[in-house]
Amino acid sequence: MATIPHSQCPHFDESLSPTLISEKCEECGVSSPTRMCLSCGHVGCCDSTNGHATAHAQSSDHPLIRSLPISERSFTWCYQCQAYLS
């Protein structure tokens, strides 16, 4: 998978950096690995579990997610660019 500077992602400026309320998947309750939508704050599980983060991105057209828990090891992914952002 590609990694691009966040300045090259046209969707990065659309992110709102919502407040994290819970780190559990809103659909199935899985606590790890989870991803937070950077448009609305929805928390969904990774594709390696039930894929609720990807399903949310596809149904809502929200392109950016951040891996949880948020730390220096977290990553940001853009579904539309199909790339990690640095």
CATH number of the domain enclosing 65: 3.30.40.10
For 42, the domain range is 2-85
What's the number of domains the chain is made of? 1
- pLDDT for the residue 43: 97
- pLDDT for the residue 1: 76
User: How many Cα neighbours within 13 Å face the side chain of 64?
Assistant: 20
Describe the strand order of the beta sheet including 64-68 as a list of residue ranges.
2-4, 83-85, 76-78, 64-68, 34-37, 43-45
- pLDDT for the residue 24: 97
* 15-42 pLDDT tens trace: 777 888 899 999 999 999 999 999 999 9
- Report yes or no: 56 and 79 within 8 Å, Cβ to Cβ: no
Task: Report yes or no on whether pTM surpasses 0.85.
Answer: yes
